[in-house]
Amino acid sequence: MSISENINFFKQTLPANVSLVAVSKFHPVNDLMEAYKAGQRIFGESRAQELVQKKQALPNDIEWHFIGQLQSNKVKDIAPFIHTIHSIDSLKLIEEVEKQAAKHDRTIRILLEIHIAQEETKAGFSPGECRDLLSSLSPENYPHVQFGGLMTMATNTDDTEQIRKEFRMLKSLYDDLKRTYLTDPHFNVLSMGMSSDYEIAISEGSNMIRVGSTIFGIRE
């Protein structure tokens, strides 16, 4: 199917409460424009330089999400326009987002990345580290940062029960944090699920999925 047909498929099949982030990293502007014309408005990129270039080339009403590992020195490049950063994995990065967002008088939504996969290469806080962080900081000290929710990537495996277990674990953590540390109604995003496992993620409570190859195909 074409990119526009793939977007229409998701528009017709996703539950109303689930947002679709079209993971457009490494794909050309023309591909993003085809998705845009089909009605897609949320795009995810993983490299700051590529994101800035695409931002300049595409319509202004796109909601840009940063989904890759973000170096502190790159926050300044995307702070003028980024809507959501999915990959917050340190207090240092939170402080840098606050600093750069303040310079532009903006509020940037962040998602705390949680490491639940059985792969050491995956980044993020452990559930315990996340609780410790939130118990020790005061969100009001970060007026330009909106603590929006959690993000994770499941283990890259064909074992669907393992994937389900991991997503269920994150949903439990998310619910716990909403009851305890982050009762702000803006803490309402559970970003989990990609092309290979988004259906499992949605069944376990995800309300934001990050889909690339199922929309754009495999980038050579």
Find where tokens 């309402």 sit.
188
Measured in degrees and rounded to the nearest 5, phi and psi for residue 19 equal -90, 145
For residue 66, report the phi and psi dihedrals to the nearest 5 degrees.
Answer: -100, 125
Q: List alpha helices for 14-47, DSSP H.
A: 29-37
Q: Which domain holds residue 210?
A: 3-216
Collapsing DSSP states into helix, strand and coil, what is residue 85?
Answer: strand
pLDDT at 220: 58
Q: What is the greatest pairwise CA distance in the chain?
A: 49
SS3 label, residue 81: coil
Residue 31 has φ and ψ, to the nearest 5°, of -65, -45
The length of the chain, given as a count of residues: 220
Q: What is the pLDDT, as a whole number, of residue 74?
A: 96
Nearest partner of 174 among 112, 129, 93, judged by Cα: 112
Long-range contacts (CB closer than 8 Å, 24 or more residues apart) made by 124-128: 124/87, 124/89, 124/151, 124/152, 125/89, 127/169, 127/173
Q: Give the pLDDT of the chain (220 residues) as one tens digit per residue.
A: 899 999 999 999 999 999 999 999 999 999 999 999 999 999 999 999 999 999 999 999 999 999 999 999 999 999 999 999 999 999 999 999 999 999 999 999 999 999 987 766 667 999 999 999 998 988 889 999 999 999 999 999 999 999 999 999 999 999 999 999 878 889 999 999 999 999 999 999 999 999 999 999 986 5
CATH code (residue 117): 3.20.20.10
Contact by Cβ (8 Å): 187, 178: yes
H-run or E-run covering 84: strand 84-88
pTM: 0.95
- Number of domains within the chain: 1
Q: Is the dihedral of CA 94, 96, 97, 103 positive or negative?
A: positive
CB 186 within 8 A of CB 147: yes
Residue 215 is inside which H or E element, if any? helix 213-216
